[in-house]
Amino acid sequence: MRYLRLVRPVEQSENDSDVIASEVLVGSKFSGSSVAFGGIRSFEDFKIIVNRLFIDSELPEHIWTKYYELCCSKNSFLHDNLLQDLSCTLITCIISQTVNIADAIRCCKLITTSRDQFANWEKTLKSFELVGMNVRFLRARLHRLQTLASESEDVLKAKGYIKAKTQRVQAEKRIRDLEAKLVQLKKESEKIDADIETFESKAESYKLEFQKEVDTPW
pLDDT, one tens digit per residue, over 130-188 is: 999 999 999 999 999 999 988 888 777 767 777 777 888 889 999 999 999 999 999 99
Mean pLDDT (the chain, rounded)? 78
Residue 130's domain spans which residues? 16-155
With respect to residue 37, please indicate whether it lies within any of the assigned structural domains: yes
Note whether 134 and 190 are same-domain residues. Answer: no
Q: In terms of domains, do 102 and 31 share one?
A: yes
- Give the separation between CA 70 and CA 3, rounded to whole angstroms: 25
Q: Which residues of 162-180 are buried (b: 16+ CB within 10 A; e: fewer)?
A: eeeeeeeeeeeeeeeeeee
Q: What is the pLDDT of residue 43?
A: 55
Q: For the ranges 1-5, 16-20, 96-100, which has the lowest average pLDDT?
A: 1-5
Residue range 198-209: average pLDDT? 90
Q: Read off the pLDDT of residues 40-72 as tens digits, 9 standing for 90 and up.
A: 666 566 666 766 666 666 778 888 888 888 888
Residue 10 lies in a domain: no
Q: How is 24-45 classified by DSSP, letter by letter?
A: -----B--S-SS-GGG--SGGG
8 found inside a domain: no
Nearest to 47 by CA among 79, 81, 74: 79
Count of domains for the chain:
2
| 60 and 97 fall within a common domain | yes
Cα 208 from Cα 197, distance rounded (Å) = 16
Residues 99, 167, single domain; the answer is no
